[in-house]
Homo-oligomer: A and B are copies of this chain.
Amino acid sequence: MPNAVADACYALALANRIVAYEGVLDGFGHVSVRHPENSSHYLLSRSRSPELVEPADILEFTLDSEKVTPGDVLPYGECVIHGEIYKARPDVKAICHHHSVAILPFCVTGKTLLPMNGLGSVMGATVPFWDSRDEFGDTPMVVTTAAQGASLARALGPHAMVLMRRHGATVVGASLQEVVFRSIYSHRNAELQLRAAAFGEVSPLSEGEAAMACAYSLRERPMGRAWEYWVTRLTKAGELPPRMSRSPQEP
């Protein structure tokens, strides 16, 4: 296995654990990354809670979400979320799908998620809302077919994040670091908007502020500082993923 792929597998396990440790992912949800050497493939763990993901759990998929990695380990039932978005959005290099306790009140009520402060604005000025009933009627509230994944990707459009009615959120980014940063700070923005509602109706940042703050926050310095912080917290908690002892192609 080339070093770039091994590095990507390690970084992806780390990203899963960071987003879980910071309270956005729990037993369910997942983070993926586009394959570093083949942009028509992506990497995603086998079906496992994100807090437990190890580099050796990472599988390789085509953009049609067909598993390339041999062996009979089970992928997530919702891997099409990742495949269909990578297909529709060549600029997207990493994706996080989650059901955080802060985001869900918005998914359940349809309340619009608005940028509250500078860091919150990294979720983008507009967060569209996808309702699976529009095209699919009653479902088990999971995204398991290519058609559903493609519908979600259309709802996402050019944005950085999409809310899914009564289900959760899907967050995309130009890098793994960016998607981690956006997942965590959009989660906190949601928590802030909910708490601020105790004082009445809440308005957003001005459009100009949101755009400028988003650009400012997504620079290397703040993202690097936050990354160091999260990795250190994970390290102190003894939660770093183990280094891979075998290749995912040689299970």
A-to-B contact residues, CB < 8 Å: 26-28, 47-49, 51-52, 74, 77, 99, 101, 104-109, 111, 116-119, 121, 133, 137-142, 166-168, 188, 191-200, 202, 205-206, 208-209, 212-213, 215-217, 221-222, 225-226, 228-230, 232-233, 236, 238
Contacts and interface: CB of A to CB of B under 8 A. Distances in A.
B48 A228 contact: yes
A109 B209 contact: no
Contact of A228 (B49, B140, B191, B215): B49
A133 B212 contact: no
A199 B193 CA distance: 10
A230 B142 CA distance: 22
Nearest to A74: B221
A116 B110 CA distance: 12
B116 A225 contact: no
Contacts of A230: 27
A226 B26 CA distance: 9
Contact of A105 (B49, B74, B195, B225): B195
Contact of A166 (B109, B141, B205, B232): B205
Contacts of A192: 101, 104-105, 108
A136 B119 CA distance: 19
B117 A167 contact: yes
Contacts of A138: 206, 208-209, 212
A105 B206 contact: no
B221 A77 contact: yes
B49 A226 contact: yes
25 contacts: A27-B225, A27-B226, A27-B229, A28-B226, A47-B221, A49-B225, A49-B228, A51-B229, A52-B228, A101-B195, A105-B195, A105-B199, A108-B193, A116-B166, A118-B141, A118-B166, A118-B167, A133-B209, A138-B208, A138-B212, A141-B205, A141-B216, A142-B216, A166-B209, A197-B199
